[in-house]
A and B are shown apart, each in its own frame.
Chain A
């Protein structure tokens, strides 16, 4: 998975609890992304980062926040998890340039009960 580690790989939590997912890369890529994947929707961008402390919202950012204090780490936080946030979450990385090929981590399966 291109030097990308997501943790945890699986998590079950209760509605209203905070949850943090971690993405760690060893590739020194500048850009990092968080997606969620749900049946029938493909991959939808939650938040992305274009450098340390530089982040921006994607198309489905409500209820999520992110932080990037180091090049290698990008954290996704659900401040108060809801059942609608049950999903598979993928982290991706890329380098700037025409190709912008994104490489994906193995994913985190989150269930909010």
Chain B
């Protein structure tokens, strides 16, 4: 079983809709969770971090964490063509500073 798994995609949504991305992780003691966005041919950039159960909102992005279910999600509201990218889920365990990444979900927003 992979440490971090994401819905495989690709995910295609119309402009203005909500894109929902899911991520599950296997290490029950993981403490920190991140979403990175990666445009084609570019490097990953951090868009959200979340450490406690519940929701965290930043502009059109909402991260949701449920440690009991070992699940973290990212919602993109009012999706824009500029949101078209691959989104990477990353998880930090409790004992070190390394991150484990999922394979990524590619999102395409249709104008």
Residues on A lying within 8 angstroms of B by beta carbon are 1, 31, 33, 40-45, 48, 50, 58, 90, 94, 96, 98-107
Contact = CB atoms under 8 A, between A and B. Distances in A.
Closest 7 CB pairs of A and B: A42-B103, A104-B43, A43-B101, A42-B101, A100-B97, A104-B44, A100-B92
20 contacts: A1-B43, A31-B97, A42-B4, A42-B102, A43-B90, A43-B101, A50-B97, A98-B51, A100-B99, A101-B49, A102-B34, A102-B46, A102-B90, A104-B43, A104-B44, A104-B45, A105-B43, A106-B42, A107-B42, A107-B43
B90 to A, nearest CB: 8
Contacts of B90: 43, 102
Interface of B: 4, 31-32, 34, 42-46, 49, 51, 88, 90, 92, 97-99, 101-104
A6 to B, nearest CB: 9
